Amino acid sequence: LTACGGAASTAPTSVPAATAPAAAVTDAPAATAAPAATAPSAGTAELTVFAAASLTDAFKEISTQFSAANSGSAIIFNFAGSDQLATQITQGAPADVFASANRRQMDVVISAGDIISGTQRTFVRNRLVVVYPNDNPANLQALTDLANPGVKIVLANKSVPVGGYSLDFLAKAAQLPAYTEAFSPTVLNNVVSYEENVRAVLSKITLGEADAGIVYTTDAATVTDGGIGTLEIPDDLNTIATYPIAPTANAANAELAQTFVDYVLSPEGQQILVKYGFIPTTPN
């Protein structure tokens, strides 16, 4: 990872185009509810995976490759904010695998007894970036411009990993002379909405409903039509998000659940995650 320094004058850049392949998988319904039961076809082993919203595109491709390597398996995904997913699992929603965008929500599920402590593995990392509509209505040229009067900012809820990481960035910046202590509260005063997950933040920006938002670099990379620009957050202000994954304690198909986790951790799974901009990590 290349150090970017702590200067407040980071220049905006455009997100490069990259086409993500489609995958034949089944998505769960709305993130506010557990996935509905779907009757599997004869001979099909069904696996329900609860995964952080930022994993949507990468996991859909992983599932295509996984299903090809494990004939007769079908994966149902429930993509949402990690906090929502943790709540659903601890309230009894049927899930075979949980992939969180932070350790905190994984710990919630472990504490509830729905995942056995020690079975979780770190499988990938991510980092933050500021995004804005390509026409840059607020004329953002540096991170300090987020505190300018009238800038409309959207963040994820603080209970969502990316929302908590965004607040960490603001707190770190407020300690530097280039930003001053007023930076964090001033930026927060510019927030016009808090969204339930990172994809909702990105959607607000691509639709031009806000001037700036903070998302993961992997989410920004999914916008392939030049519809957004970015302001990089330097390493000393950024937070490297750590993603753990684990089979649940009451998985309906425990063997297949562990096989999926192993595939995500395998060189093949890691290669797909890196393709979508994630930072590889040695599992632990």
CATH of the domain at 133: 3.40.190.10
Q: Do 149 and 102 lie in a common domain?
A: no
pLDDT over 70 (residue 27): no
Query: In terms of pLDDT, which residue wins out, 180 or 230?
Result: 230
CB neighbour burial string for 58-71, b if at least 16 within 10 angstroms, e if fewer? bbbbbbbbbbeebe
Residue 203, domain member (yes or no): yes
Q: Do 172 and 84 lie in a common domain?
A: no
pLDDT over 80 (residue 14): no
Least confident of 65-74, 204-213, 243-252, 265-274: 65-74
Integer angstrom CA distances of residue 207 from 14, 100, 223: 17, 27, 12
Percentage of the chain exceeding pLDDT 90: 79
Q: Do 31 and 106 lie in a common domain?
A: yes
- Average pLDDT, rounded, for the chain: 87
Integer angstrom CA distances of residue 278 from 13, 55, 127, 243: 19, 9, 8, 10
Q: Do 227 and 191 lie in a common domain?
A: yes
Beta strands in the chain (DSSP E): 12-14, 26-27, 45-52, 73-80, 97-99, 121-126, 128-133, 153-156, 191-195, 212-216, 228-232, 241-247
Residue 50, domain member (yes or no): yes
Residue 282, domain member (yes or no): no
Q: Do 57 and 101 lie in a common domain?
A: yes
Percentage of the chain exceeding pLDDT 70: 84
So what's the pLDDT on residue 18? Answer: 37
pLDDT over 80 (residue 154): yes
Contact 204, 116 (CB under 8 A): no
Please report which confidence band the pLDDT of residue 282 belongs to, taking 50, 70 and 90 as the band edges.
low
Structural domain including 157 reads 12-17+126-232
Residue 6, domain member (yes or no): no
Residue 283, domain member (yes or no): no
So what's the pLDDT on residue 1? Answer: 36
Residue 280, domain member (yes or no): no
Residue 205, domain member (yes or no): yes
Q: Do 36 and 52 lie in a common domain?
A: yes
Q: Do 51 and 89 lie in a common domain?
A: yes
Number of independent structural domains in the chain: 2
Q: Do 118 and 131 lie in a common domain?
A: no
So what's the pLDDT on residue 11? Answer: 43
